[in-house]
Amino acid sequence: MDSLLLLRDILLRGQEGDSFLLFWSKEGLGALLILFLFWGLSQLVVLLLLRWRKHLATGSEQSGDDDVVARLSPGLSRLFVVYGAYLAIDSLPFHEKVVVVACGAVFIVLVALVGNLLLILMDEIMGRYVAAQQESAGALMSRQMMPVARKILSLFLMGAALIVILKHFNYDIFSLVTALGIGSLAIGMAAKDTLAHMISGFTIMLDRPFRIGDRIQLVGGQIGDVADIGLRSTKIKTPDNQLLIIPNSELCNTMLTNQAFPDQRVKGRVTIGVAYGSDVELVKRVLVATAREVALVLDEPAPEAFFIAFGDSALTMSLFFWVGDYNTLVSVTDQVNTLILSRFTEHSIEIPFPTRTILMEK
């Protein structure tokens, strides 16, 4: 009973120590007026946003704006109401400790609402970035980059919110920031290789030197299709159905060839030797006509044949042709070589064996 009486005295005690009925006092009515005013502002903001949303749904070229308004409207409404409650509680003549606790709890909710709104806004921005990248280049690596970026952003907002709350309650955040800095330095020194691979992974995802599915050739001569791009390593599937796992830091610091960029066309080459005395122009015409007979050889750019060099026992000729997909280059080259043998036989064009003449003196 004594505790109930003490609680009643605390709630009914004004700042000057006078006892009065709180909610019928001037301060109580003022607090209710503040709360009602901010509730009205929240309804007005929601109404304006709904009208803007309806306008966007009918006349805006960016249909995604409609979703942004729908996601932000409830949070903005709650933000106004909670801020009004914060000001209303602060204006009431409660006991000082009660005001501090109540305002502190409302302030925490207020910071959480602001952080949630910022997270929604940044999530929409990143979602539009991913959609634009996929529309322009058909990239698949963004599906791996964006979840990690969202987690990092969430951790950053949580840390900022914690610092703001501690600062509101007059806690010394300098020591906390110092401890976090020292801890981050120690972790960075201990895991510098892993961090280097992760930073390189972000660099690959942002710079986009290759995409998932692209065929690349490394400096060492290995060729394969990019199967997966992770934070630490990139996986490449070779034509022999083997999986190369390469750390991202090595890929960032080496030279490679992306055969799928700017498009999937690839240039094929066949080098062959014909006997001395052959009609070079006839050989070039036969080579070009043979390439045109293969269905997968592109008409534009057109096949070309050139007389390259004088060999030891043959005239070296080269045929160049284009294929629409680099995955079919080997099979197309096989068809072109097979047809060349047949056409050379038809036109009596000799492919000589290497010969050497030896003169012996008595």
- The sign of the dihedral angle between the CA atoms of 165, 167, 170, 176 is positive
The DSSP secondary-structure symbol of 304 reads E
Phi, psi of 317 (to 5 degrees): -115, 150
On whether residue 333 sits in a domain, the answer given is yes
Residues 234 and 336 in one domain: no
Cα atoms found within 13 Å of the Cα of residue 228, Cβ hemisphere only:
10
Residues 6 or more apart whose Cβ sits within 8 Å of residue 59: none
On whether residue 322 sits in a domain, the answer given is yes
On whether residue 243 sits in a domain, the answer given is yes
For residue 354, whether the previous peptide bond is cis, meaning omega lies within 30 degrees of 0, is: no
Residues 14 and 95 in one domain: yes
Residues 147 and 107 in one domain: yes
Give the end of a domain, one of 201, 226, 258.
Answer: 258
On whether residue 79 sits in a domain, the answer given is yes
| CATH at residue 239 | 2.30.30.60
Residues 146 and 278 in one domain: no
Q: Which amino acid is at 238?
A: T
Angle at 64 between CA 132 and CA 115, to 5 degrees: 95
Residues 122 and 177 in one domain: yes
Determine contact, residues 329/294, Cβ cutoff 8 Å. no
Structural domain of residue 319, as residue ranges?
266-346
Q: 52 is written with which tokens?
A: 């803007």
Residues 160 and 15 in one domain: yes
pLDDT at site 296: 92
- The sign of the dihedral angle between the CA atoms of 111, 114, 120, 122 is negative
Number of domains making up the chain? 3
On whether residue 9 sits in a domain, the answer given is yes
Per-residue pLDDT of the chain (362 residues; tens, 9 = 90+): 444 444 445 444 444 444 344 444 566 666 677 777 777 777 777 777 777 666 655 544 445 555 666 667 777 777 777 777 777 776 666 666 766 777 777 788 888 888 888 887 887 777 776 666 554 444 455 555 666 677 777 878 887 888 787 777 777 666 666 766 666 666 666 666 777 777 777 777 777 788 888 888 888 888 899 888 877 888 999 988 889 999 888 888 888 888 888 888 889 999 999 999 899 999 999 999 999 999 999 999 999 999 999 988 899 999 999 999 888 999 999 999 999 999 999 999 999 887 777 888 87
pLDDT at site 56: 55
On whether residue 354 sits in a domain, the answer given is no
> What one-character-per-residue DSSP string does 137-195 give?
H---THHHHHHHHHHHHHHHHHHHHHHHHHHHTT--HHHHHHHHHHHHHHHHHHTHHHH
Residues 129 and 237 in one domain: no
| CATH at residue 296 | 3.30.70.100
Q: Tell me how far apart the alpha carbons of residues 147 and 205 are, in angstroms, rounded to a whole number.
A: 13
On whether residue 235 sits in a domain, the answer given is yes
Q: 37 is written with which tokens?
A: 């005013």
Give the end of a domain, one of 238, 258, 278.
Answer: 258
Residues 231 and 292 in one domain: no
Residues 97 and 46 in one domain: yes
Residues 179 and 230 in one domain: no
On whether residue 254 sits in a domain, the answer given is yes
pLDDT at site 6: 45
Determine contact, residues 200/252, Cβ cutoff 8 Å. yes
pLDDT at site 334: 95
pLDDT at site 95: 66
Residues 318 and 217 in one domain: no
Residues 11 and 123 in one domain: yes
Burial (CB count within 10 angstroms: exposed 0-12, middle 13-18, buried 19+), residue 332: buried
Residues 6 or more apart whose Cβ sits within 8 Å of residue 306: 284, 317, 318, 320
> How far are the Cα atoms of 120, 151, 155, 263 from residue 275, in angstroms, in the given order?
73, 68, 73, 38
